[in-house]
Amino acid sequence: MKFFLDSAKLDEIDKAYKCYGIDGVTTNPRHIMNSGKPFLTAINDIANWVKENHLEGKEVFPVSVEINPHLDNADDMVKEARKISAICENFVIKIPCNLEGLKAAKRLEEEGIRTNVTLVFSPSQAIQAGRINAKFVSPFIGWKETNGEDARAYMETISNIYHVKGYETEIIAAAVRTGREISIMAELDVDIVTCGLAVLEDSFTHPYTKHGLGIFCDSWDKTEGN
Ligand code: E4P
């Protein structure tokens, strides 16, 4: 299972790549806002970071960038996607999973611009992303859990449908909030998990590890000769 970082902050991207070897990045308008930079500055900075780290390439280190969420027709979405995509070959264009968005994503994939169909909350939406051969589909599991829904059953359904139908679209479990969700996604053989840096770091932290180290330090110190 690959790990993407869900962030537009360069320091977080740099740390996650250099310390933990993440495989890509996902952003959204909220992450761009949290970076404290205007949209174009934020994405150009990420493009430059990609270059500096010799990660340029369509298949190397995908960076998902979302189009202006106010756009409500396929023609405008396609135009904006083309502009964003021209900035960096690693960019994958995030398109909302609605009627106009799916029309736009289909056209973009046909012209070789990769898409990430986002804001997906039902298996039937995920099916459409697979049918149009989107590069990625992003079901938001954290938002489902917050709404009291069962993210495991939801992702199991999507994953089964994709296997049965042979869709090549890669599934990104998005808005992942806990280590438990990460392990469930791995168990379900989901392709990719995307989460924030704090969630990623929390997922390999356990209070018993700290507790155990305390016990071992104590024993070490009491051992004769140390
Ligand atoms: C995924 O691609 C989205 O950017 C993300 O997971 C959205 O959720 P969040 O910002 O609530 O984590």
- Whether pTM > 0.85 for this model: the answer is yes
Question: Cα separation of 69 and 52, whole Å?
Answer: 29
Q: Whose CA is nearest to atom 12 of ligand 1?
A: 175
Share of the chain above pLDDT 70, in %: 100
Ligand 1 centre from 49 Cα, in Å? 21
Beta bridge partners of 64: 26, 92
pLDDT tens digits, one per residue of 61-115: 999 999 999 999 999 999 999 999 999 999 999 999 999 999 999 999 999 999 9
Residue 130 one-letter amino acid: G
Ligand 1 centre from 216 Cα, in Å? 39
Ligand 1 centre from 146 Cα, in Å? 13
Q: Closest ligand 1 atom, CA of 196?
A: 12
pLDDT tens digits, one per residue of 150-198: 999 999 999 999 999 999 999 999 999 999 999 999 999 999 999 999 9
Does ligand 1 lie within 6 Å of residue 181's CB atom? no
What pLDDT score does 226 carry?
85
Q: Closest ligand 1 atom, CA of 175?
A: 6
Could you tell me which residue, 86 or 226, shows the higher pLDDT? 86
Is residue 172 classed as helix, strand or coil in its secondary structure?
Answer: strand
- Residue 31: Cβ within 10 Å count: 20
Ligand 1 centre from 219 Cα, in Å? 44
Is residue 176 classed as helix, strand or coil in its secondary structure?
Answer: strand
Q: Residues 94, 106, 135, 144: which is the catalytic one? A: 94
